[in-house]
């Protein structure tokens, strides 16, 4: 029997031609995520996103977001140690005109942040691995990316 899906909201936060990623560490590995997190029962997707952006990026005001611009379904293989099923609902926002010097995380799991240009994304351990989508997506694109990812 499979596990119940978790819903995770996140945002592609652009600053000029770069995107903001959050660094996370687990024992023995480091990876990058779009800022965001889990949705609580009874919480709207946008409210959850704003809560997570406050916790992970320190954005106190409600940044206008568009979307969802992408939905990614991640399911771990049946024989994995910890089975997971996560539905990633991704929005977009523009950080232009803001100082990123004030970006601070209240979330203990966040170990830093960095702006990445599209050309740098290929070598990044990004979860979920949506580098191809990020490298070609432009704000205002009407198309929504729908993807399914199954870990090997």
- For the CA atoms of 54, 68, 16, 116, the dihedral, rounded to the nearest 10 degrees, stands at 80
Domains in the chain: boundaries: 6-150
Q: How far apart are CA 92 and CA 139, in angstroms?
A: 8
Please check whether the domain covering 6-150 is classified as CATH 3.90.79.10: yes
What is the C-alpha to C-alpha distance for residues 84 and 78, in angstroms, rounded to an integer?
A: 9
Quote the pTM value. 0.82
pLDDT tens for the chain, 152 residues: list them: 467 889 999 999 988 888 889 888 777 788 899 999 999 999 999 999 999 998 888 777 788 899 898 888 888 776 666 678 889 999 999 888 766 665 555 554 556 788 888 888 888 888 888 887 887 777 767 656 666 544 43
């Amino acid at each position: 029997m499979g596990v119940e899906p978790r819903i995770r909201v996140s945002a592609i936060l652009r600053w000029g031609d770069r995107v903001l990623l959050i660094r996370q560490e687990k024992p023995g590995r480091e990876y990058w995520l779009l800022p965001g997190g889990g949705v609580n029962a009874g919480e709207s997707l946008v409210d959850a996103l704003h809560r997570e952006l406050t916790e992970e990026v320190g954005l106190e005001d409600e940044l206008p977001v568009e979307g969802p611009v992408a939905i990614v379904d991640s399911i771990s293989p049946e024989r994995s140690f910890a089975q997971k099923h996560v539905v990633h609902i991704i929005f977009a926002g523009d950080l232009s005109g803001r100082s990123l010097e004030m970006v601070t995380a209240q979330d203990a799991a966040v170990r830093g942040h960095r702006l990445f240009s599209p050309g740098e994304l290929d070598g990044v351990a990004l979860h979920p691995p949506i580098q191809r989508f990020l490298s070609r997506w432009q704000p205002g694109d009407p198309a929504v990316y729908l993807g399914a990812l199954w870990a090997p």
